[in-house]
Amino acid sequence: MARRYDPGRRDRIVRAALRVVAERGIGGLSHRTVAAEADVPLGSTTYHFASLDELLVAALRRSNENFARALRESGRLADPGTDLADELTRLLGEWFTGERRAIELEYELYLAALRRPALRPVAAEWTDGVGELLARRTDPATARALVALLDGISLQVLLTGGEFDAAHTREMLARIVRGSGAR
């Protein structure tokens, strides 16, 4: 039997893994559940991803891209005339007006690095990448503080089921950007 050429199979498997984690959590992820979701033979998942950690790494990379892309594509963020706290607040607010389950999935995979060391470098890639983007507008230490605050605010909103508070977010970001208000 001839092999079927399927250049998009790896990508379909990653997208299927994201759907499985979204529906069942990381504990529900297996090569078998992903193969069924992607409608591919079980051997395809193990061919492209020898372990579940490899599959989770690919899924985390894919999901991490959402907010980072918004930052990269923001022309106003790159403009030194734009207030940095205002623009970050706007971008985070837009992110939260999107599909909340997608944000939860992103953080579920991100936080999986606590128990899965293979994911830690990918989590660090995201933090470092966003930090580098923000360091174009400020110094590296302030950029890292901004990333930490954005993460903290996002986690608080997700974990409490609360709403994104733009005014509070803007004030906290502005304090970091100004370098004042810390005690």
CATH number reported for the structural domain that contains residue 20 in this entry: 1.10.10.60
Can you give the pLDDT at residue 69? Answer: 84
Identify whether residues 87 and 151 lie together within a single domain: yes
CA pair distance 139, 107, nearest whole angstrom: 26
d(CA 129, CA 177): 19
Residue indicated by tokens 């039997």: 1
pTM assigned to the model? 0.84
Report the alpha-carbon distance of residue 176 to residue 169 in Å, rounded. Answer: 11
Q: Are 88 and 170 part of one and the same domain?
A: yes
pLDDT digit of tens for each residue in the chain (183 aa)? 445 677 889 999 999 999 999 999 999 999 999 999 999 999 999 999 999 999 999 999 988 887 888 888 888 888 889 999 999 999 999 999 988 888 899 899 999 999 999 999 999 998 999 999 999 999 999 999 999 999 999 999 999 998 999 999 999 999 999 983 333
Task: Output the pLDDT for position 4.
Answer: 67
Domain shared by 44 and 124, yes or no: no
Task: Assess if residue 123 is contained within a domain.
Answer: yes
Both 96 and 126 in a single domain?
A: yes
CATH number at residue 144: 1.10.357.10
Is residue 92 domain-shared with residue 159, that is, in the same domain?
yes
Return d(Cα 91, Cα 115) in angstroms, integer.
30
pLDDT for position 183 = 31
**Residue 130 contacts residue 147 (beta carbons within 8 Å):** yes
pLDDT of 90 reads 95
Residue 99 pLDDT: 82
Task: Record the tokens describing residue 49, joined without a space.
Answer: 């991803």
Q: Do 154 and 114 belong to one domain?
A: yes
- pLDDT of 180 reads 35
Say whether both 83 and 129 belong to one domain: yes
> Distance between CA atoms of 175 and 14, rounded to whole angstroms?
39
Query: Domain limits at 20?
Result: 8-50
Asked if the structure places residue 143 within a domain, the reply is yes
Give the number of residues written for the chain: 183
- 140 is a domain residue: yes
Does 116 reside within a domain? yes
Looking at the 3D structure of the chain, how many domains does it have?
A: 2
Measured between alpha carbons, how far is 84 from 80 in angstroms, rounded to an integer? 8
Residues 6+ apart with CB under 8 A from 60: 109, 110, 112, 113, 119, 122, 123
Same domain, 160 and 92: yes
Same domain, 87 and 166: yes
Same domain, 88 and 42: no
**Same domain for 89 and 36?**
no
Q: Residue ranges of the alpha helices (H) in 98-136?
A: 100-111, 120-135
- Say what the pLDDT of residue 181 is: 38
Domain presence at residue 57: no
In a domain, 130, yes or no: yes
| 163 and 99 assigned to the same domain | yes
